[in-house]
Amino acid sequence: MKPRERFAINLRKARQRKEISQEELGFRCELHRTEISLLERGGREPRLGTIVKLAGSLDTTPEELCQGISWTTPGKTGKGRYQYKK
């Protein structure tokens, strides 16, 4: 799973909890509905400013939208990697 896919799951759940459409969410955070759709399908990785707008529009935090995504410290290989929690 890629970070944007985990973010997509979190975003969709947060929007559904608020019981609003993608169009309404787009209106609230000044993004087009198709952008919301792309983010919810994991088709695009969001920028920091977009995460902040989405979180504010959903009465949640950027941390909640990024829940389950972390980066591990490089091991013997010297390369870090993403970790995901379900």
Q: What is the CATH number of the domain that holds 9?
A: 1.10.260.40
What is the average per-residue pLDDT within 36-46? 95
What is the average per-residue pLDDT within 44-62? 95
- Residue numbers of the domain that contains 79: 3-84
Contact (Cβ atoms closer than 8 angstroms) between residue 56 and residue 50: no
Number of domains the chain is built from: 1
Contact (Cβ atoms closer than 8 angstroms) between residue 41 and residue 47: no
Residue 71 has a pLDDT of 78
Residue 10 has a pLDDT of 96
pLDDT at 69 over 90: no
Alpha-carbon span 26 to 37, nearest angstrom: 9
